[in-house]
Structures are given as structure tokens and as C-alpha cells.
Amino acid sequence: LPNHTAVVSHIAIDIGGSLAKLVYFSREAHSTEPGGRLNFQSFETDHIDDCLEFMRKLKRRYQRANGANSPPASELCVMATGGGAYKFYDKIREVLGVDVLREDEMECLIIGLDFFINEIPREVFTYSEEQPMQFVEPGDNVYPYLLVNIGSGVSFLKVSGPREYERVGGTSLGGGTLWGLLSLLTGARTFDEMLDLASQGDNSNVDMLVGDIYGTDYGKIGLKSTTIASSFGKVFRKKRQAENEAEDSGGLGQKELHLQRQQQSQTQNGVHTPPLLDEDMEPQEPQLSGFVSKDPSRPFSSADISRSLLYAISNNIGQIAYLQSQIHSLSHIYFGGSFIRGHTQTMNTLSYAIKFWSKGAKQAYFLRHEGYLGAVGAFLKRQP
């Protein structure tokens, strides 16, 4: 909650498949200065009750500041967007006891982005390994552009002018995919733990690189030896090799390991564990580096797996973004959505993909408040 003397008058919430993003305006109660501040807060959509409780406290603060008999015109204004604005509509109204204004999700995204691009200094930036975070100050010639919003899934929006947009594509391989698969494949319990793992991993232990196939680079078609030829492409062979070695050295063979795993999975707490989960992994203790499973058939570290999957998802989105920008003749590409989370490898991969495929003709842009485009858009739509 903001400082106890601050009063909140507007709240906007964007409730997506994974996260509920809250933006609210607060100002000091007795301040004679105009203006105030925007506050940002997010909750897992699964914990929507915590989020509503937080909003209820903001509302109480508002009522106290306005007195019990405040006229209805001064009612706290609550805007909602995202799928959850529909799914949880009755619940929000019930808990808060106020009317809720629903706004279109895509429209809010671009209103929010336009605001950040045009009005907020030190918000939009470009990213590369050599020049991390170069801010781009508000300027002219903003349109047309491509917005790639990477949330649970991914949407590609072509924006031709203020409030003029079209959703031109999408992919279900997005943030939810990374979050979900890494929860199965590693011991990480939160998204940030996954990003930590990824930042420490070495994907070449898991990915098949051009160099693994050619023994060198493939210069003729512009592929470096470190280019990923196949994400997770080394896993099967390495796993089989490790199993064979274990068998040769008198350990458990492939068949025995398989049987042992099946038995374990059936007996563990009486709960069926899918074979994909490694029974040796301790979900309570995510392994941040150098993890080698006790199971000889799984010589892969959580960090390497995380790095590899982060690259796979980001490269794929970068490639689709480039193709969409080609189809629609757009040279400015903005990346939003909570998936990015300011993570350097994610931004570097997306940025590099755009630069590489466009031969430097197109530019990727990122935002400091990348996850809050929709919430800020909903907030702005009802500003007096």
C-alpha cells in the first residue's frame, strides 16, 4: 500500500491468464500541488483474492479521505481489462462494492504503449550486448509500428495510428510455455527463479549447435558454429549415452532405470508423478548452478535447460516478429508483456533476431513497464 496519507482515486486492473496487473493513482491528501503518482503492482491471477483484498484496502482509504457521505460522483473509479475483467466481473463488483468499467484488452494495450512512447521520458529503450539500455526519448514519426505482446501467449498487433490497430497474428508458444515447461523440467518454483537459472546456464550442453553437426561454422549460408541448429537436440543422444555408460559400468541399465522410475512414480506419496518429472529433484530447493541429477540417465542441469528453453521461445518469437514486420512493412517493433521482465538474455535474443533477419534495417524496442501496457491503457481511457 502507498504511504498512509496518500489517497487513491483511480484503479485500473488488467487480469490476464497468468498475472493480474494493477495500476493506481495516488496523491498526498493535503497537498496543494497538482498531480500525484502512478503505482504498479502485480499478483498471480490464481491469487486474485489477494489482489481484490488489496484493492478493497485502497477503496477504504479513499472512503476515509472523502468522508462517509461523499456524493456518488466521487465514487472510486475502477477500470478492468483482460480476460479476467469478464471472468471475475461479478466478484470484483461484489468485493469492492463499486461499479467496474470494462475496457477492450487490445485497445488498452496500444493506448498504454502510445502513452509510454509519447509521454514518458526514460521509458522506451533499445538493447544490445554492446549497448545495453539506450533510452529513446519521445519523438515524432511513431506510426506505423508492430507491437509484440508476450504474455501467457503472444499477440502481434499492427498499429497504424492512435487507436488504429489490427491483430495480425499470434502464437501459443509464449511466457506461459516457459513458465509451465520449466516448472516440469527444473526444481524452480517461481518465474524469477527460472530466469535466474537461465542466466547461469549453458545451452550448448542441451542444444545441438551448427558446430556439433559441421564441426565448424557453415559460413556459406551465414551460420556461425554457435548458432542453435536444434533446441534440445542433444538431449536424446546424451541421455542414451549416459544410460549405456551406466549399464557398462555395472549400474542400472536402461530397462531397469525405466522400471525403477515407474515404480517410484506409482508409489511416491500415492500420487502419480509423470515420467517427465525427475524424482531426484527437490522442488523446495531450486538448483541454481552445476546441478547434476543423481540419475545417470539425466546428465542435464536445470540452469542449462532453462537457458535453452528461454532461447527457444525468444528466438521463435523474434523470428515471427520479423516476418510479421516484413509482411506489414513495419520497421519499429515494440516488445511488451511480463514475459520480458527486463531479463537481459530475453531482450538480447529478441533484439538480435530483429537485427539479424532485417540486416539492421529494423529496430526492437523495450519498455521499463513492459507488463503494464494494458493496465495503463485502461487507466487512461477513463481519465477525466
**Position with the least CB separation from ligand ADP:** 16
DSSP reduced 3-state for 273:
coil
**CA separation for the pair 186, 287 (Å, rounded):** 8
DSSP reduced 3-state for 317:
helix
Residue 95 vs 173, nearer CB to ligand ADP: 173
Q: Which residue has the cell 513458465?
A: 179
Choices 25-33, 174-182, 317-325, 353-361 (CB under 6 A): range interacting with ligand ADP = 174-182
Q: Which residue has the cell 508483456?
A: 337
Residue 62 vs 311, nearer CB to ligand ADP: 311
User: For residues 18-77, which are near ligand ADP according to CB under 6 A?
Assistant: 18-19, 44
Residue 194 vs 257, nearer CB to ligand ADP: 194
User: For residues 308-347, which are near ligand ADP according to CB under 6 A?
Assistant: 337-339, 341
Burial 171-204 (b: 16+ CB within 10 A, else e): bebbbbbbbebbbebbbbeebebbbbbbbbbebb
DSSP reduced 3-state for 377:
helix
Residue 178 vs 376, nearer CB to ligand ADP: 178
Binding of ligand ADP at residue 151 (CB under 6 A)? yes
What share of residues in the chain are helix, strand, coil (percent, to 5)?
Answer: 45, 20, 35
User: Among 13, 178, 185, 333, which residue sits at the site for ligand ADP (rule: CB under 6 A)?
Assistant: 178
DSSP reduced 3-state for 148:
strand
H-helix or E-strand spanning residue 346: helix 344-357
- Least CB distance from residue 239 to ligand ADP, whole Å? 27
User: Among 36, 82, 286, 377, which residue sits at the site for ligand ADP (rule: CB under 6 A)?
Assistant: 82
DSSP reduced 3-state for 379:
helix
Residue 44 vs 202, nearer CB to ligand ADP: 44
The contact set with ligand ADP (CB under 6 A) reads: 16-19, 44, 82, 151-152, 175-176, 178-179, 191, 337-339, 341, 371
